[in-house]
Amino acid sequence: MISDARIVANFLTDNQYDWVRDEKDSYTVSYTNNSSVGNRYIRWNGLWAYKSVNDDTPDGTRLEAEAANSRIRELDWRNIFALIEYGVVVGPSILATIQRCAQSINDTQLPEESDEKVRTWNGMVHVYVSERTSALWKIQADIRKEIAAAFWEDRENKQLLSDDWIYMEHSFSGWNRST
């Protein structure tokens, strides 16, 4: 049986990309790169989740789940569904939202494909697309908003991350010496 996280991930990409992928030993939970363009100053930081820590694990600051929650700076759509699927993200709000969205997706009947075009907003400009595409985009936008709201709610309540994973923060700040 396909999981709710996979149902939602597949719907958001119209089955064009596998956001969940295979299970790994570590995941990027949050990554921010503030490196400047034009000069060689580099500044980045990130939060990773590990199943276990060994000699091959990069050095970093080890954090408890509660402290790691406050280090998350953005919702990374590239990883969120894998994090949910494999138990890194376990917040009650986001899990309930994913379940509700999956049920909504299963119950949704999109209009049949037709040659008739309607004017709709694609996030940047108004475009003319089929009524089916317009309906799909609206549902996808609503689902993204719901997931983001639940994600930030669980983060704020420090309930987003599982205690079963090991969290490490890695960062670098300094001048790039390459030419």
The residues spanned by each domain of the chain are: 4-175
Q: Look at residues 54, 68, 53, 75 and name the one whose alpha carbon lies nearest to residue 145.
A: 75
The residue assigned the tokens 């549902």 is: 139
Q: Taking a C-beta distance cutoff of 8 angstroms, is the pair 130, 113 a contact?
A: yes
| pLDDT score at 63 | 94
Tell me which of 33-47, 115-129, 153-167 is least confident. 33-47
Average pLDDT for 106-128? 89
Q: Give CA–CA dist 175/72, Å, rounded.
A: 25
Q: What is the pLDDT of residues 22-35, one digit of tens each?
A: 999 999 999 988 88
Q: Taking a C-beta distance cutoff of 8 angstroms, is the pair 137, 2 a contact?
A: no
